[in-house]
Structure 1
């Protein structure tokens, strides 16, 4: 090989290397630019400290759905400024709830052999206290007012409540003792005053009254029932039909829920109601859209819930007495808990 040929080869190699380096830089810059543009259209989100402590001020902690580096992380905003800048924690959850300094985070786990799901119990600093493997896709989560009990529901067959071809499993954990009730299907059932057993029983949507009693949805025979449960007696009792995903008000007097209404589309069959537990009177709420969510009480007068949005889900509020109209609380959010 002549000297001239060697020089041509060397120059060519340097040009190729320079091109590769330039392409790498441009690709990284483009990726960063895309990330910035993705978040530019949504609410501002920055990393920081997120606390579940009861004395940290009135605030909302929720799953941030805004595109960008903090998507799916638990984030917080002041309750008085829900549309303001968000602080993201770095902790990712698909479903979340918290009370009295205890949180439950249902998350996806990427494994070497196969992916799965896990329920993680969090302390007030979002540090993991315990975790439990889940047998299906996370869908509901709740914590008792004292922070002692945590409940979660997963789909183990099917992936939507809209039809009838699905199966769920609901567990309740005592976070102090570590005692885990893996499925409410092991509980005795009293339906309409009589013992009841069936192979098609499903439970979902637990809401706690205290550290012994709870409400939930039971499905069997193509019907749904509101049940009141007793953890000590390991028993549930039906109270009425056609009631799903109950949520107990802070004063313990009412349940907000979704109800199937005849004539609505099969894939959007619900309307929102509030049940007075003393009179068993139902009040329809002023939300004309179908809501597939377990509502959260903002206070004794207002409920919050999610609906599909540009980022996946947005949060709305609505008066609990049937008046008013829906108000968008914040964009790009899911699974809220009001703390403080």
Structure 2
């Protein structure tokens, strides 16, 4: 082989590697289509997600909302969980070479504007509809009451004022109408209301899991109902999609369900597989969520929010969906 031919071959290999890395190649290793990534932004109508496809595994990616199985735009950002709304994105990611993590806040062009450290392993993240508020949940170990098992910590930040609640455990709790304190309080799965002051989340204590409503200004939370995990508030603010422990026993798995906040009516959805995820509202009538399969891989599925229909594969080799626009 001549030097010229060798140089050409090496150049082609290098170009292919760069293309796969930055999303300008036609497919990933498993032939997942990849589009040019020259205009990445948090503008819609798109769906942002974490890619689990070979060649782009762990990268923040986007697809057209009307063609979710089509070509994906792949960002250089590597994240463990992602979310976005109102022109603000979040990326939960490793922080350097050590086993530490951070939440990075992204602008409309997916540029990191700020990052804060997280004490624990990233698990959930959400952004308010107007992009002002952001939340996170992490797993932590070492709580004396928990016999060495993992606990959770959830916090939130006002990106306009920079005011932050490091952990919801610092807030005053009212359980069934009475003030409540306990060492084993755990919170996870925050979802914001439209006013940027209130939120919903899951609280666990004494073997029970509650849906709670929080007031950031008043620094309070109060319980609403039991057996609601990882809530996600609908665009109209009237319903909550969540995972419900089967027979109120998480060891049996979870069923996707929608709660009407006004009436308390619970509607099990047509997805009968166990879903260990915080669901996302793609629109007023559709829920998206991830189903894992194989080592470090998952697919995003969708299902009707009224209990009708059947699950539909939305984005293969993907998780952590967030609708844009």
What's the TM-score, normalizing by structure 1? 0.83
Match of 1:45 in 2: 34
Residue 299 of structure 1: CA displacement?
0.6
Inter-CA distance 198–204: structure 2 relative to 1 (3 Å threshold):
same
Inter-CA distance 184–40: structure 2 relative to 1 (3 Å threshold):
same
Within 5 Å, which residues of 2 pair with 1:142-157? 142-157=126-141
Residue 73 of structure 1: CA displacement?
1.4
Instruction: Assess if the C-alpha contact under 8 Å between 2:300 and 2:317 holds in 1.
Output: yes
Match of 2:255 in 1: 271
Residue 286 of structure 1: CA displacement?
0.9
Mean CA deviation greater in 302-311 or 143-152: 302-311
Within 5 Å, which residues of 2 pair with 1:131-210? 131-157=115-141, 165-210=149-194
Mean CA deviation greater in 57-66 or 146-155: 57-66
SS state of the match for residue 247, structure 2? coil
- Whether 2:83 is the aligned partner of 1:97: answer yes
- Whether 2:72 is the aligned partner of 1:82: answer no
Instruction: Assess if the C-alpha contact under 8 Å between 2:258 and 2:305 holds in 1.
Output: yes
Within 5 Å, which residues of 2 pair with 1:182-261? 182-210=166-194, 211-261=196-246
User: How many Å separate the matches in 2 of 1:184 and 1:272?
Assistant: 25
Residue 263 of structure 1: CA displacement?
8.8
- Whether 2:47 is the aligned partner of 1:63: answer no
Inter-CA distance 191–138: structure 2 relative to 1 (3 Å threshold):
same
Instruction: Assess if the C-alpha contact under 8 Å between 1:48 and 1:89 holds in 2.
Output: no
User: How many Å separate the matches in 1 of 2:34 and 2:141?
Assistant: 35
Instruction: Assess if the C-alpha contact under 8 Å between 1:49 and 1:89 holds in 2.
Output: no
Structure 1 residues not aligned, in runs of 5+: 1-20, 159-163
Residue 89 of structure 1: CA displacement?
1.5
Instruction: Assess if the C-alpha contact under 8 Å between 2:227 and 2:248 holds in 1.
Output: no
Match of 1:280 in 2: 264
Inter-CA distance 73–290: structure 2 relative to 1 (3 Å threshold):
same
Match of 1:305 in 2: 289
SS state of the match for residue 185, structure 1? helix
Match of 1:72 in 2: 58
SS state of the match for residue 124, structure 1? coil
Residue 182 of structure 1: CA displacement?
0.3
Structure 2 residues not aligned, in runs of 5+: 1-5, 143-147
Residue 92 of structure 1: CA displacement?
1.4
User: How many Å separate the matches in 2 of 1:202 and 1:170?
Assistant: 8
Inter-CA distance 57–144: structure 2 relative to 1 (3 Å threshold):
closer
Match of 1:330 in 2: 315
User: How many Å separate the matches in 2 of 1:254 and 1:220?
Assistant: 24
Q: Deviations over 1:71-126 (max 9, x none)?
A: 21111111000011111111111111111101111001233xx2310111111111
Larger Rg: 1
Superposed CA RMSD in Å reads 2.5
What's the TM-score, normalizing by structure 2? 0.87
User: How many Å separate the matches in 1 of 2:297 and 2:226?
Assistant: 31
